[in-house]
Structure 1
């Protein structure tokens, strides 16, 4: 289980916060259990600890040294001003539902009925509802695989939920990787009878870990006065569309990613390898062997291994398509910085870095709202919730909602193809570097270094369709049966993990969220069949759950038929649109907010496109004008020389002008 745990381990500042919170919460929970058992009456558990236990919790940020005159702080403070900052709890749009009312995951006690029914095993739901073979995959006739991977890329700008830092149970010292016992922080996924891959029984499970608690929540709330409150989880990233996955969300990492010897504000690049004379991401200086997969994948014991890459987000190596997008945006930052230096030779390295970063942040806001979200939530939600920019509202909390991070924005797991296409200059299968089975594309940076670079992968993303999520062909086996197979003792099941994570976070059930969005709440099979437009699926779900009230929110959301023009159902369209509405309105530094950019700069930004960024930073010479839509008579390949791009002349500083960007007080 090392790979997933390493992938979900936070960086230094977040690690300090979650470790303190986790240790405090578990210490107080164990004390509470023993005190309550011995005395059979109410005692304050913190009375048994020292008088200054709050020091165990991580201290507030000292951000005085990180203020940028050019706009955003890396970790989001002084924007609204603390709302949406990194290392703060996820927002709760509905009250949490824990087994013990405080902290235990839903279903932790497997004999406890909820709404008069036992919760089904998540692996059973995955087997019965999600399973599809590669042969059953239906291609999307409208949208490219770039839509799927751009969604993952965007998610890694907004959400990262760190695991509990401990790998052993707090009360018994059991290693969560080696035991199937339900004991904090272990939440193993039991294997049901008749499982297609794994034996059933008390000693058979898929290991899983709890997400770390936010300090002062769950049992650690004893420390802050009286009764415990409900457990919350931490978002290690800012809630803003600011490309934290390029630049990092904390200062030490940001400095590590910069080329501080350059006078041009550049990001650091790989000094050992190039991609057809173009830049690659630097290697991670931490010597972890998670990416040393080449010999196992190729069965070549003499193959050269390479380290993982490093970027602003630790999941950069998760798959090579994602890595290629990371590489593309790193190159675009450096291209912008060099162009800005040519325009403004008087600017120092810090100014060039910050201005390029600011432009890049605007890019992602434009691409997400103009090019991506309309394909996902459909025209109705765009019109009612995400239309014309209404201006900054300091009363809007942009914080990422727990339900968004843990359920709604995981919809695209069902739009992932079982292969990552690699295409040649004619957008045909590359004979030298054929398409890669997805399960052989996890943690394989060596494929980019030794197998043709990022160009074939990017052509594959913009030149081949996404998988279509259909109700009878939901999740490919590469994700359900072979996830991280080459870096783990036991391959994982992403569908089971998604549902288990929702229970770990105490997310309310399907009907409660339907009610939150003003949608009907089906009470029987007939009503659920109407919602799903599928009687057989409704029957199978109710055989498992007993009531629609209990359906795991992620499962219910991805089972719904799409809204018109979108790729999610009404529930997830509501939740995703609501989240992005709040992100935009609660961001004081949103690119359309007056004073952030000049009117000329805003006009220039509207010409930016993902296709043009691909043209400017790769050897690709022809692209679809819309990188998100499949090639068709309306979306033909166009020569890169005919594509309009960002005109940087609006950033040229005249001798008499002051710095044109936003100054913070």
Structure 2
């Protein structure tokens, strides 16, 4: 069943038809409707726990991070708005939906025409970034997959090459007559983003019932692409049999003993082909770089739980899992804010736009903004190289895993297993430079002309899709966002030429859009020359910094917040290094001290045992054996325990039953534990389940388990 756009207010709108007002529907009818559309999870206010564990660990969904606003930053909620959307009608038709509709007395150009005229760059006509590695580009997409996932709506708004009209009066983006694809396809395939069930509003203003889009994952930098944004996915990604809290591994293939991500139980349909896909974030299989990073952090999680188990053998699998998850989340925050963003924004802009952390602010909404997801954080698409470098041992070229045209690396997870694992891919990312974005060198043809071509079907155009996505989301034009950021607003072509530093590019925009006010925000923002030391211009610096500031200040579990980690743990975390993580989880023996900086020669790499590639010292995670007031912490035989703010949580190992309280608390007055610790009693599986063993064998109970033995005749 395909459901359309629901607005839950006085009545429900479904593909433009009106349901009866809510008071004509019974309570049961409303409940059925809300469940069927998935709106119930969006509308219900979650109940937030206040126990010690809820203070120590995030929820998977992001709910209750903010106790006053428990849905802020949570999965399956609407993107926030910094400006009111500009749709073509009250139902939320995308900008440019009607080719005769004018904005500021001009019609909007077809997105494919903008791609061809402004963005298309031949693969061999690019300049390389002598300062930054391609791993920085990859990290941007990796973090994007931690922040936002916009589900698409398989509704009548699908734009296909077979039917390029939703209805006779609703044409969709066409392929211009001047386009090389004319005669092959008449329009670009496109799905509209699924709408939220609730209308959107700017902070501090009354609710508006315009169309809003959903973020299906948590907004927070919490490594949700590794662990999932729901309890069910998190459970599916775990090794349920592990007593160490490990993530699940591939049981069909390994990288010479090192783990791969587990496969999905069935092949994934992709255009005209079916491929083997990896379980996890739905975008993990997009290209080789993503698979490499997913694999890297799966291995790092499992390495951490083993190390934490050695420090705290009394911790159970859930504690080990959550502590490793918490560390991985902090690592992502540190690498992004301290290593990635200063290179994107530039040191000066970072210091001006990203002031020092002053503490958690419960009045800051950390939700991802629509403009950030649909436009601003797509800036790095113009820094992608057309070739995926794969390098052998010693960072040498190798015939076993040659470099690939970019489109041959997309949805090609099989190449990881069959062509050398993740090491060649990571070596290529470490040694290859990023592409420079220049006015005449925007997006390589691998992305505008060959996107997903290797998987069969018609190739897509990433630039056109980005532009259409912004229009689909009703993002106002370029000038409106300049005004929001307090920047000068171009009114003439001359004004625009001054801002862009390129009269030729400004003239292209004039011929396409008629006025600077109509320029799509994504293409306008990426066209600005970068700030000193950075890779983005003033508008992108403003939008990116505003979002990342909110993600930091509005996160109750931000790694620097007092009480999230101890002082000793924060000091240890501050030394984290992506190069160290690569050393610890691959067979790569030499790495750069700074993996985001372009390393000119393999000779400049450092051995993994070099002092500049420090290990993460986990000694600060050793749990004390005593409580400050109640003294010795009672442990369990055949069970697990964890001390959390003078409360001990108990759990028995599998095959044992907990007898007694699952937690005891230190009484500060008596300075005694408020109850005796529980005990773990062996479960007699043979008595409880007489049919465990086949008829020709006897069931023999063993401590924590059982065994089936042949009957004595």
- Bucket of the pairwise TM-score, normalised by the shorter protein: 0.7 to 0.9
SS in 1 for 2:63: coil
Shift of 1:62: 8.4
Kindly provide the CA deviation profile for residues 209-238 of structure 1, in whole angstroms up to 9, marking residues without a partner as x.
1101110339xx9xxxx9972111111111
Task: Report how far residue 552 of structure 1 moved.
Answer: 0.1
Contact persistence 1:22–1:164 (CA under 8 A): no
Match of 1:472 in 2: 440
* Contact 1:102 1:229 (C-alpha < 8 Å) held by counterparts: no
- Contact 2:591/2:605 (8 A) holds in 1: yes
Residue of structure 1 in register with 2:229 after alignment: 249
Deviation for aligned residue 1:51: 4.9
| 8 Å contact from structure 1 (residues 189, 208) kept in 2 | no
Deviation at 1:188? 3.9
User: SS where residue 641 of structure 1 aligns?
Assistant: coil
Please, which of 100, 111, 125 is the counterpart of residue 100 of structure 2?
Answer: 111
Question: Displacement of 1:386 after TM fit?
Answer: 1.8
User: Is the deviation greater in 49-58 or in 207-216?
Assistant: 49-58
1:76 aligns with 2:65: no
1:557-568 matches, cutoff 5 A: 557-568=525-536
> How far does residue 379 in structure 1 lie from its aligned partner after superposition?
1.6
Q: Cα deviations across residues 505-556 of structure 1 (Å, max 9, x unaligned)?
A: 0001000000000100111111100000000000011100011100000010
Is the contact made by 1:132 and 1:477 (CA closer than 8 Å) also made in structure 2?
yes
Asked if 2 retains the 8 angstrom alpha-carbon contact of 1:264 and 1:338, the reply is yes
Q: Output the CA distance in 1 between the equivalents of 2:25 and 2:462.
A: 42
Indicate conservation of the 8 Å contact 1:273/1:280, yes or no.
yes
**CA deviation vs aligned residue, 1:10-53 (integer Å, no higher than 9, x gap):** xxxxxx9x957559899545325xxxxxxxxxxx9648974556
Q: Pairwise mapping of residues 200-215 of structure 1 onto structure 2 (< 5 A)?
A: 204-215=186-197
Alpha-carbon distance, 1:662 to partner? 7.8
Query: C-alpha distance in 1, partners of 2:24/2:409?
Result: 49
Task: Report the equivalent of 2:638.
Answer: none
Report how far residue 374 of structure 1 moved: 0.5
Q: Is the 8 A contact 1:71 1:663 kept in 2?
A: no
CA–CA separation in structure 1 for the residues paired with 2:251 and 2:523? 45
Cα 1:62–1:19 change in 2 (3 A) is farther
Match of residue 606 from structure 2 = 638
State the distance in 1 between where 2:23 and 2:420 align: 62
Contact persistence 2:390–2:402 (CA under 8 A):
yes
CA pair 230-275 structure 1, distance change in 2 beyond 3 A: same
Secondary structure at 1:135 match in 2: coil
- The alpha-carbon deviation at position 184 of structure 1 amounts to 12
* Preserved CA contact (<8 Å) 1:84 1:240: yes
- Which structure is larger by alpha-carbon Rg, 1 or 2? 2
Distance in 2 (alpha carbons) for counterparts of 1:145 and 1:318: 17
Q: Are 1:191 and 2:175 an aligned pair?
A: yes
* Contact map agreement 1:414 1:474 (CA 8 A) in 2: yes
Residue 272 of structure 1 pairs with residue 256 of structure 2: no
CA deviation map 1:580-622 (0-9, x unaligned): 0000000011010000000000000011100000000000000
**Could you say which residue in structure 1 is the equivalent of 2:650?**
none
Please state how far the C-alpha of 1:428 moved relative to its aligned partner: 2.2
| Equivalence map 1:362-441=2 (5 Å) | 362-441=330-409
Structure 1 residues 47-66: aligned runs within 5 Å: 50-51=25-26, 54-55=30-31, 56-57=33-34, 58-60=39-41
For residues 638 and 564 of structure 1, the distance between their equivalents in structure 2, rounded to whole angstroms, comes to 29
Q: Secondary structure at the match of 1:275?
A: coil
- Secondary structure, counterpart of 1:141 in structure 2: strand
Partner of 1:301: none
Contact 1:122–1:500 (8 Å) recurs in 2: yes
Instruction: Return the offset for 1:466.
Output: 0.7
Check the 8 A contact 2:261/2:298 in 1, yes or no.
yes
Q: Deviations over 1:92-135 (max 9, x none)?
A: 00010000144111111111111110000000000000011111
Q: Distance in 2 between matches of 1:424 and 1:73?
A: 41
Taking structure 2 as the reference length, what is the TM-score of the superposition?
Answer: 0.81
Map 1:180-329 to 2 at 5 A: 180-183=164-167, 188-199=172-183, 204-217=186-199, 229-290=209-270, 307-311=276-280, 313-329=281-297
Indicate the residue corresponding to 1:297 in structure 2: none
Question: Does the alignment pair 1:529 with 2:515?
Answer: no
Corresponding position of 2:675: none
1:423–1:430 CA contact under 8 A, matched in 2 = yes
After TM superposition, the structure 1 = structure 2 runs for residues 498-647 of structure 1, keeping only pairs within 5 Å, are 498-632=466-600, 636-642=604-610, 643-647=613-617
Deviations 1:253-281 (A, max 9, x none): 11000001000010000001001210000
Deviation at 1:411, TM superposition (A): 0.3
Number of residue pairs the alignment of both structures matches:
613
Counterpart of 2:163 (choices 179, 182, 203) is 179
**Matches of 1:184 and 1:577, distance apart in 2:** 43
Q: Secondary structure at the match of 1:190?
A: coil
Alignment check: 8 A CA contact 2:221 2:333 kept: yes
**Separation in 2, partners of 1:331, 1:587:** 26
Cα distance change of structure 1 residues 63 and 429 upon mapping to structure 2, 3 Å threshold: farther
Kept after mapping to 2: 8 A contact 1:184/1:210: no
Change (3 A) 1:126 1:431: same
> Taking structure 1 as reference, are residues 289 and 229 closer, same or farther at Cα in structure 2, changes over 3 Å only?
closer
Query: For the residues of structure 2 that align with 1:210 and 1:127, how far apart are their CA atoms?
Result: 22
Q: Which consecutive residues of structure 2, in runs of 5 or more, have no partner in the other structure?
A: 628-632, 634-641, 648-664, 666-713
Alignment correspondent of 1:132: 121
More moved, 412-421 vs 651-660: 651-660
Do the aligned partners of residues 191 and 599 (structure 1) sit closer, same or farther apart at CA in structure 2, a change above 3 Å counting? same
| Alpha-carbon spacing, 1:530–1:329, altered in 2? closer, same or farther (3 Å) | same
**Which of 150, 155, 158 pairs up with 2:147?**
158
**Given the superposition, is the C-alpha separation of residues 233 and 197 from structure 1 closer, same or farther in structure 2, using an over 3 Å criterion?**
same
- For residue 80 of structure 1, report the CA deviation from its aligned partner: 1.1
What SS does structure 1 have at the residue aligned with 2:131?
strand
**Deviation of the 1:476 alpha carbon:** 0.8
Deviation, 1:196, is 1.9
Would you say the 8 A contact 2:97–2:172 is kept in 1? no
Higher-helix-fraction structure: 1
Q: Are 2:17 and 1:31 aligned?
A: yes
The alignment status of 1:122 with 2:103, answered yes or no, reads: no
Q: Verify the 8 A CA contact 2:478 2:518 in the aligned structure 1.
A: yes
In 2: Cα distance, 1:565 partner to 1:424 partner: 32
Do the aligned partners of 2:277 and 2:413 also contact (CA within 8 Å) in 1?
Answer: yes
